[in-house]
Amino acid sequence: MLTRRLSLFATLALSFLLVSGAQAADTVRLATTTSTYNSGLLDYLLPKFEEDHPYQIQVIPVGTGKALRLGRDGDVDLVLTHAPAAEKAFVDADYGVEPHGVMYNDFVIVGPSGDPAGIDGGDDATSAFATLAGQGATFISRGDDSGTDKKEKHLWEEAGVTPDFEGFRAAGQGMGEVLKMASELQGYTLTDRGTWLAMKDKLDLKIMVEGDTGLFNPYQVILVNPERYDGLNTQGARALAEWLISDEGQDLIDAFRLNDKALFHASAGEKVDPTSAVHESD
């Protein structure tokens, strides 16, 4: 009886090992930002990658802070994020290796159509932010350490404002929730264009400021350092990263449309410099 149980247990344990082993070999875990995920880009790209490669990609959408943390802890095989300064620190500390610029997208400032602060139609993000603070306008901030949040903090800094004015609300939630909140409270917010396009039909908001180079947003793909952790699928992660910056991946990124609008601009080969157009500080 006992031996039967033991052998059953051993069989189960062995089959479990085999299954999980098999899974580890062809699964690649990618941590990315909620805004990338919400845009639908990965749903469009990854099946095309999986067609030609023996890997399955599991996407974990979180804020940039958490994505890099997952990489640091060896919980994922690679990250796709948009916070140059934090990414530079991540690579400098040897948590990540082989960083590559993949693409750009941009941010827009949105607000209620009544535009109580009077910033509509501007093309200078910094002065728009200064006006919002001066007016004490309702402004919903991500406040969650995401790439978008870091971007916003940088814009306040550029505008020479400490964001503690009447009407400033740090929500500590994802882009979708913050947009809903801005719509409900009829306030302003900074959003990536992808989430905005995906949600704008449900919102009582419109674009106020866009097109400023200071609102551009570079994405990098970075492998988690295989020397720090055993059991990472570095081979699969590298295959994905190299495919993203290959001609095929880059053309697909350029061809991606959301509501008939191009969202991302392929930029492989361009170095992402943490002090460049999207200068951003922590």
Tokens of residue 149, six digits: 């949040």
Give me 139's structure tokens. 């402004």
Q: How far is the CB of 28 from another protein (least distance, A)?
A: 21
Answer yes or no whether residue 173 interacts with another protein by CB under 8 A.
Answer: yes
For position 144 contacting another protein by CB under 8 A, the verdict is: yes
User: Contact, 35 vs 148, CB < 8 A?
Assistant: yes
Q: Is 85 in the site for another protein (CB under 8 A)?
A: no
Residue from 53, 169, 228, 265 in contact with another protein (CB under 8 A): 169
Stretch that binds another protein, among 97-105, 166-174, 222-230, 256-264 (CB under 8 A): 166-174
Measure Cα distances from 281 to 74, 114, 154, 199, 214 in Å: 25, 33, 6, 29, 13
Measured at the CA of 35, the angle between CA 29 and CA 37, to 5 degrees, comes to: 40
Q: Are 173 and 144 in contact (CB under 8 A)?
A: yes
Query: Does the protein bind another protein through residue 101 (CB under 8 A)?
Result: no
In the complex with another protein, which residue's Cβ is closer, 57 or 62? Answer: 62
The 4-43 contact track toward another protein, x by CB under 8 A, reads ----------------------------------------
Listing DSSP states for 47-85 in one string gives HHHHHHSS-EEEEEEE-HHHHHHHHHTTSSSEEEE--HH
Residue closer to another protein (CB basis): 144 or 280: 144
- Interacting span for another protein (CB under 8 A) from 89-97, 118-126, 169-177, 192-200: 169-177
What's at 13, amino acid-wise? A
Residue 73 within binding range of another protein, rule CB under 8 A = yes
Q: What are phi and psi of 203, to 5 degrees?
A: -115, 150
Residue 59 lies near another protein (rule: CB under 8 A): no
Closest CA to 143 of 172, 169, 114, 111: 172
Q: Which of 45, 68, 205, 224 binds another protein (CB under 8 A)?
A: 68
* Residues ≥6 apart with Cβ < 8 Å to 122: 128, 208, 209
* Binding of residue 69 to another protein (CB under 8 A): yes
Cβ(71)–Cβ(83) under 8 Å?
A: no
Task: Determine which residue in the list 172, 176, 214, 274 makes contact with another protein, applying CB under 8 A.
Answer: 172
| SS3 category, 175 | helix
- Residue placing its CB nearer to another protein in the complex, 138 or 234: 138
> x-or-dash pattern for another protein, window 182-211, by CB under 8 A?
-xxxx-----------------x-------
Q: Between residues 40 and 143, which has the closer beta carbon with respect to another protein? A: 143
> What residue ranges bind another protein (CB under 8 A)?
62-63, 65-66, 68-70, 73, 143-145, 169-173, 177, 181, 183-186, 204
